[in-house]
Amino acid sequence: MKRIAVLITDLFEDVEYAEPAEAFRKAGHAVVTVSLTKGTTVTGKTLHSKVHIDQAVKDVAVGDYDALFIPGGYSPDKLRVDPAAVEFVRSFVSSGKPVLGICHAAQLLISARVLQGRRTTGYVSIIQDIKNAGAEFVDAEVVEDGNLLFSRNPKDISAFVRASLRKLKE
Amino acid sequence: MKRIAVLITDLFEDVEYAEPAEAFRKAGHAVVTVSLTKGTTVTGKTLHSKVHIDQAVKDVAVGDYDALFIPGGYSPDKLRVDPAAVEFVRSFVSSGKPVLGICHAAQLLISARVLQGRRTTGYVSIIQDIKNAGAEFVDAEVVEDGNLLFSRNPKDISAFVRASLRKLKE
């Protein structure tokens, strides 16, 4: 059993949270939602699903978790303005522990300035941003580079979940 | 009287369209809304206001307009995946005609790869993207550099409108 921090806020892409989170829990992992404020509820952008927030990002540390999962939608755009959220992502990437992201998730890694020289993928709208951050953009359903495991969009979710579950076993 | 193309789609920041568009019309300018599909209606992200679309971006040319205005919100993120929208922005910047943008508008200029060596501003979430695109980010309510005139967020709208109206008179 691994402890997975999910960094999420309003306007997340509903299925990009719900399907991986369910699969991680079914596989026996603990999923802990982390956002700007503890005890609130955040709302998805498409299906308007609600997610309860377990922890505030300012109160958590990389040492408390085995992996980080960042769903997409516009949640990463809203989180990247928060210095604690960006620092949490930076620390996680540096730790070598798995960082699993999909869609717009790479925006947080861009703000954390940890993509230089890495290979990754993301939603089509942020391809130029990924390249400008010094990363090699790869157009594939799952792109792994060291501890980073990223996918492009909701169509990649099945492959993302399979690859993530394998990575969590390593 | 100048003809101003407004590049806009769903999830635009309502006030960032409504207030400048009203001021431009009051000053005697023609405001033409341009999006992915002609004759549709797009919806704002905060107030859910509706905007009728006059022209499809694939059918317009820089020569038809005297200036380009790009409101913010998540509209630029949705438009930057469309090659015709990105090419329209690229051509406008190259033309030397005024390009007026606010909030996330610079995302379209990043995808158009026209920010290298320019000075500009934008919403706090995209500061690193603007820097990575080779631009100098300036934290001011209005930043002008040649034909580019940009502002950061809804609080800057009054200053943005004043500076834009002056620029349209040049």
pLDDT digits (tens, 9 = 90+) for B10-45: 999 999 999 999 999 999 999 999 999 999 999 999
Please report which helix (H) or strand (E) contains residue B100, including its range. Answer: strand B99-102
Dihedral sign for Cα A121, A127, A128, A129, please: negative
Beta strand ranges found along chain A (DSSP E): 3-7, 30-35, 41-43, 50-52, 55-56, 67-70, 99-102, 119-120, 136-137, 143-145, 148-151
The residue written with tokens 């998805």 in the block is A44
Query: Can you give the pLDDT at residue B108?
Result: 98
**Which residues of chain A have a Cβ shorter than 8 Å from any chain B Cβ?**
74, 77-78, 80-81, 107, 110-111, 113, 124-125, 128-129, 132-134
The residue written with tokens 């719900």 in the block is A18
- CA-based nearest residue to A119, from A137, A132, A96: A137
By Cβ distance, the residue of B77, B107, B125 closest to A80 is B125
Query: Can you give the pLDDT at residue B72?
Result: 98
Give the C-alpha separation, B57 to A24, whole Å: 43
B157-161 mean pLDDT: 98
pLDDT tens digits for range B74-103: 999 999 999 999 999 999 999 999 999 999
Query: Can you give the pLDDT at residue B15?
Result: 98
A25-52 mean pLDDT: 98
- CA-based nearest residue to A64, from A41, A36, A30: A30
A96-114 mean pLDDT: 98
By Cβ distance, the residue of A111, A124, A129 closest to B81 is A124
By Cβ distance, the residue of A74, A81, A124 closest to B74 is A74
pLDDT tens digits for range B54-74: 999 999 999 999 999 999 999
A1-29 mean pLDDT: 98
Q: Model confidence at A15, in pLDDT bands (50, 70, 90)?
A: very high
Among A51, A60, A70, A103, the one annotated catalytic: A103
**Euclidean distance between the first and the last CA atom of chain B, given in angstroms as a whole number:** 12
Dihedral sign for Cα B60, B61, B65, B70, please: positive
A129-135 mean pLDDT: 98
Give the closest-approach CA distance of A170 to chain B in angstroms.
Answer: 33
Is B13 among the residues known to form the active site? no
Percentage above 70 pLDDT, chain B: 100
Three-class SS string for B125-154?
A: HHHHHHHHCCCEECCCCCEEECCEEEECCH
One-letter amino acid at A36 equals L
Query: Can you give the pLDDT at residue A59?
Result: 98
Give the closest-approach CA distance of B81 to chain A in angstroms.
Answer: 5
Q: Model confidence at A14, in pLDDT bands (50, 70, 90)?
A: very high
Give the C-alpha separation, B136 to A85, whole Å: 24
Question: B3-169 in CATH: which number?
Answer: 3.40.50.880
Domain assignments of chain A as residue spans, ordered by start: 3-169
Give the C-alpha separation, B152 to B138, whole Å: 10
Pairing state between β A119-120 and B143-145? unpaired
B125 and A107: CB-CB below 8 Å? yes
Cβ B167 vs Cβ B149: under 8 Å = yes
Give the closest-approach CA distance of B103 to chain A in angstroms.
Answer: 12
Q: Model confidence at A114, in pLDDT bands (50, 70, 90)?
A: very high
Across chain A, mean pLDDT equals 98
Number of C-beta neighbours around residue A17 at 10 A: 25
Among B62, B93, B103, B126, the one annotated catalytic: B103
Give the C-alpha separation, A73 to A58, whole Å: 22
pLDDT tens digits for range B96-122: 999 999 999 999 999 999 999 999 999
A25-36 mean pLDDT: 98
